[in-house]
C-alpha cells in the first residue's frame, strides 16, 4: 500500500509483516454472527466501526482521485486493502435495521499489553438495532461502500454493484433513525471516550449522501445535500476533517459538482471549501491554521498527524478540481491555483518523511531515522514465530516498559507525530505521539501516489 517509487528508505520486502499471524478468528461467535476481518484502529486489539469505515472511505477516495497514478502493483495493493475493509463492513450491516459497531471491550483490552494472536480479553459485540440511532457510523459506512463501489467499478463490476446497493440501504437506516451511536446507553461505555461522537451525526448524513450522489448518479441524493445543507449544518465546523468530523472533506467533495459540473445550487459547499483552503495559506489574510515552527500543520489535541495527512489530502484533491475547471481560489489579498496548493502539500509530505527539525521520518521503516518505540502491541512484543508460547495480559508489561526498540518494524505506519514545537520523544508510553492509526495512514496513500508520480514538484516557502 505504501509507495517506494522515487523515494528510497523502505526495508526489503521479505522483512515486512512476516511477524504477524491470524487473530480474532472467533469474533462475533458469541452472538452467532461472523465478524471476522476488518482492521484494529491503532495499536490495540479492538475493532471500532466508526474510524474503520472512515479509513475505508479515505482509501477508496485515494484510488478514485489518484489510482491512475499508482503503479499497477500498488493499485492492486490499495484495492486489496479496501476490499478487506468493505468485506467486513458488509458483515456489520448484513441484517436488516441492525448495524454492528464494535468488537472488543476497550477497557479490558487497554489494560493488557498482549499480541493480537494471544488476546484473551472479552470480544464483546456492540450493535445498534432500529429504532435506536447510529446515523454517524451508518452514514460513514454508507460513504465507505459508495466510494469503494467507484474504486471497484472497472476491476470488479459485480462487487461494485453489490456494495453500492448495500450503501443505499445503510444510508436509509442512517437517515431514518437519526442520532449518534454513542448516545445509546448500551454502546456508550464501549465507544467512549475512544470514538465517542462529540461533534454530532449530521455531517455523516451529508457525507454519506454526497458519496451516494457521486457513486449512483441518482438525483435524489443531489437534492438531499442541496436541501439539507442548512438543516444539517453544512456550514458549521467547516475547518475540521477526520474520523469524527467530515465537514471540510464534504465541502471539498461536493465542490467537484460545482467546479466541473456547474451545479450552482451547491455553491454554498464550494464557498465553505474555499474558506477552509484560505485558512491554510500562510500568505492569505484569512490564514489561521496553526503551523509548528518547522512548518507542520498543527491542531491542538492528540495524534496530530491525523490532521496533517487528511488536510494534505484535501489540498491535493482540491488542486485537481481547480485544474480540471481552470479555476483558482480567491483568498482576498491573494489568488492561488493548483500549483500553490500542491507545493504546500509537498511541504507537509516532506516534513512527515524527514525534512523537519528533528530529521526524523514519522513513517516507520522509511529513511534511517524513524520512531523505534511505537505504541503498538504486536510491534513491541516478540513475534509469535520467534516466541510461540502465549504472552498473557500482564506478561507483556515488561515489553511495554522496556526502553529497547520494538523488535518488529511496522513498515509504513505513521505515528501520531511531534508536538507543537516539533519535539518528539520516541516514547512508547506517550500514545498520543507514538501510536499509529489507520486513519492517519489512509489519506496518505493518495498523497504518496500523487507525489510518487510527480517527483519534481517544488515546495512553497516554509509556512510560518
Residues with active-site annotation: 44, 375, 426, 435
What is the C-alpha to C-alpha distance for residues 292 and 464, in angstroms, rounded to an integer? 8
Using the 8-state DSSP alphabet, how is residue 414 labeled? B
β-pair partners for 98: 129
Burial of residue 111 (number of CB atoms within 10 Å: 0-12, 13-18, 19+): exposed
Kindly report the CA angle at 148 between 145 and 154, in degrees rounded to 5? 135
CB 304 within 8 A of CB 437: no
* Element containing residue 128 per DSSP (H, E): strand 125-129
User: Which residues, other chains included, contact 329 with Cβ-Cβ below 8 Å and sequence gap of 6+?
Assistant: 274, 277, 278, 318, 322, 335, 336, 337, 341
CB 328 within 8 A of CB 337: yes
Provide the sign of the torsion angle of the four alpha carbons 269, 273, 279, 283, taken in this order.
negative
β-pair partners for 100: 127
| Other residues' Cβ atoms within 10 Å of the Cβ of residue 432 | 14
Query: Edge-to-edge, what's the strand order for the sheet holding 125-129?
Result: 47-48, 98-103, 125-129
β-pair partners for 127: 100
Which residue has cell 475547518?
A: 239
Q: What is the DSSP string of 299-368?
A: -SSS-THHHHHHHHHHHHHHHHHHHHTT--EE-SS-EE-HHHHHHHHHHHHHHHTT-STT---SBTTSSS
User: Which residues, other chains included, contact 206 with Cβ-Cβ below 8 Å and sequence gap of 6+?
Assistant: 225, 228, 229, 232, 234, 246, 250
Which residue has cell 491542538?
A: 300
Phi/psi for 2 (5° steps) reads -105, 145
User: Which residues, other chains included, contact 32 with Cβ-Cβ below 8 Å and sequence gap of 6+?
Assistant: none
- Reduced to 3 states (helix: H, G, I; strand: E, B; else coil), residue 456 is coil
Q: Which three cell numbers stand for residue 359?
A: 530529521
Amino acid at each position: 500500500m505504501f509507495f517506494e517509487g522515487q523515494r528510497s528508505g523502505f526495508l526489503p520486502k521479505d522483512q515486512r509483516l512476516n511477524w504477524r499471524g491470524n487473530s480474532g478468528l472467533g469474533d462475533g461467535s458469541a452472538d452467532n454472527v461472523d465478524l471476522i476481518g476488518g482492521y484494529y484502529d491503532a495499536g490495540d486489539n479492538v475493532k471500532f466501526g466508526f474510524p474503520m469505515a472512515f479509513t475505508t472511505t479515505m482509501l477508496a477516495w485515494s484510488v478514485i482521485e489518484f489510482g491512475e497514478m499508482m503503479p499497477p502493483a500498488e493499485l492492486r495493493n490499495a484495492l486489496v486493502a479496501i476490499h478487506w475493509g468493505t468485506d467486513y463492513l458488509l458483515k456489520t450491516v448484513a441484517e436488516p435495521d441492525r448495524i454492528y459497531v464494535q468488537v472488543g471491550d476497550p477497557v479490558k483490552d487497554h489494560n493488557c499489553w498482549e499480541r493480537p494472536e494471544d488476546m484473551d480479553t472479552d470480544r464483546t459485540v456492540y450493535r445498534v438495532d432500529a429504532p435506536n440511532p447510529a446515523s454517524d457510523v451508518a452514514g460513514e459506512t454508507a460513504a465507505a461502500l459508495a466510494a469503494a463501489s467507484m474504486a471497484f467499478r472497472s476491476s470488479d463490476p459485480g462487487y461494485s454493484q453489490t456494495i453500492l446497493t448495500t450503501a443505499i440501504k445503510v444510508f436509509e437506516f442512517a437517515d431514518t433513525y437519526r442520532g449518534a451511536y454513542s448516545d445509546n446507553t448500551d454502546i456508550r461505555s464501549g465507544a467512549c471516550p475512544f470514538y465517542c461522537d462529540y461533534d454530532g451525526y449530521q455531517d455523516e448524513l451529508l457525507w454519506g449522501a454526497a458519496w451516494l450522489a457521486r457513486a449512483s448518479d441518482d438525483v435524489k441524493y443531489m437534492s438531499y445535500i442541496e436541501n439539507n445543507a442548512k438543516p444539517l449544518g453544512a456550514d458549521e465546523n467547516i475547518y475540521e476533517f477526520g474520523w469524527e468530523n467530515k465537514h471540510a472533506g464534504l465541502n471539498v467533495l461536493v465542490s467537484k459538482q460545482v467546479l466541473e459540473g456547474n451545479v450552482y445550487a451547491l455553491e454554498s459547499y464550494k464557498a465553505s471549501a474555499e474558506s477552509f483552503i484560505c485558512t491554510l495559506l500562510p500568505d492569505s489574510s484569512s490564514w489561521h491554521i496553526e503551523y509548528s515552527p518547522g512548518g507542520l500543520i498543527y491542531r491542538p489535541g492528540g495524534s496530530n498527524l491525523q490532521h496533517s495527512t487528511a488536510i494534505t489530502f484535501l489540498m491535493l484533491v482540491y488542486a485537481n478540481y481547480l485544474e480540471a475547471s481552470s479555476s483558482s481560489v480567491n483568498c482576498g489579498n491573494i489568488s492561488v491555483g493548483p500549483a500553490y496548493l500542491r507545493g504546500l502539500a509537498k511541504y507537509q509530505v516532506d516534513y512527515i518523511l524527514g525534512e523537519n527539525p528533528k530529521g526524523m521520518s514519522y513513517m516507520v521503516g522509511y529513511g534511517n531515522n524513524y520512531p523505534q518505540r511505537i505504541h503498538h502491541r504486536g510491534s513491541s512484543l516478540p513475534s509469535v514465530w520467534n516466541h510461540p508460547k502465549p504472552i498473557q495480559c500482564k506478561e507483556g508489561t515488561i515489553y511495554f516498559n522496556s526502553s529497547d526498540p520494538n523488535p518488529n518494524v511496522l513498515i509504513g505506519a505513521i505515528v501520531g507525530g511531534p508536538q507543537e514545537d516539533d519535539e518528539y520523544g520516541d516514547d512508547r508510553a506517550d500514545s498520543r505521539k507514538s501510536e499509529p492509526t489507520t486513519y492517519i495512514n489512509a489519506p496518505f496513500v493518495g498523497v504518496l501516489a500523487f507525489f510518487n508520480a510527480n517527483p519534481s514538484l517544488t515546495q512553497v516557502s516554509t509556512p510560518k
